[in-house]
């Protein structure tokens, strides 16, 4: 038997979050950006006006080439960057749609809570 009564806000059924089309993808993208090295790699790619060669990325970091390759794969599998092969070189560029999806999710999150904040 519950001795302490819950306040009204506790008992009222909380609002359901809006249905999320692809939660798994969202998690993968946030996780992909949730690593210091990987975020820097992403930032470097995003800062370019043209697809960036992998060699240029490796040159700029202290970690090994396989590690950079691994990070690039994670970012690519998350749908945040694309990889294009030209000859021996791989060129990476941001996928605007993938990044925008994250932004839209965040925008929706603040919008919902904005109704409450005075």
Sites of contact with its own copies (CB under 8 A) = 4, 6-7, 9-10, 14-18, 20, 23-24, 26-28, 30-36, 39-40, 42-53, 55-56, 60, 86-89, 91, 93-94, 96, 99-100, 102-103, 106-110, 112-117
Binder of residue 65, out of DNA, its own copies, none (CB less than 5 to 8 A by kind):
DNA
Write the binding mask 82 to 101 for DNA: x where contact by CB under 7 A, - elsewhere. -x-x-xxxx-----------
Q: Quote the least distance from Cβ 97 to DNA, whole Å.
A: 21
Q: Quote the least distance from Cβ 70 to DNA, whole Å.
A: 4
Q: How far apart are CA 31 and CA 52, in angstroms?
A: 22
Residue 37 burial class via C-beta count within 10 angstroms: exposed 0-12, middle 13-18, buried 19 and up:
middle
Q: How far apart are CA 98 and CA 29, in angstroms?
A: 8
Ranges assigned E (strand) in 24-116: 52-53, 81-86, 89-94
Residue 32 burial class via C-beta count within 10 angstroms: exposed 0-12, middle 13-18, buried 19 and up:
buried
Residues interacting with DNA, by CB under 7 A? 1-6, 31, 34-38, 53-55, 58, 62-74, 83, 85, 87-90
């Amino acid at each position: 038997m519950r001795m302490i009564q819950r306040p009204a806000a506790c008992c009222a059924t909380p609002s359901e979050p809006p249905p999320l089309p692809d939660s798994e993808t969202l998690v993968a993208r946030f996780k992909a950006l949730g690593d210091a090295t990987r975020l820097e790699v992403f930032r470097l790619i995003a800062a370019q006006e043209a697809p960036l060669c992998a060699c240029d990325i490796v040159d700029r970091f202290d970690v090994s080439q396989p590690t950079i390759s691994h990070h690039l794969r994670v970012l690519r599998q998350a749908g945040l960057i694309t990889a294009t092969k030209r000859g021996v070189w791989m060129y990476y560029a941001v996928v605007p749609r993938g990044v925008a999806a994250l932004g839209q999710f965040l925008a929706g999150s603040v919008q919902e809570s904005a109704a409450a904040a005075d």
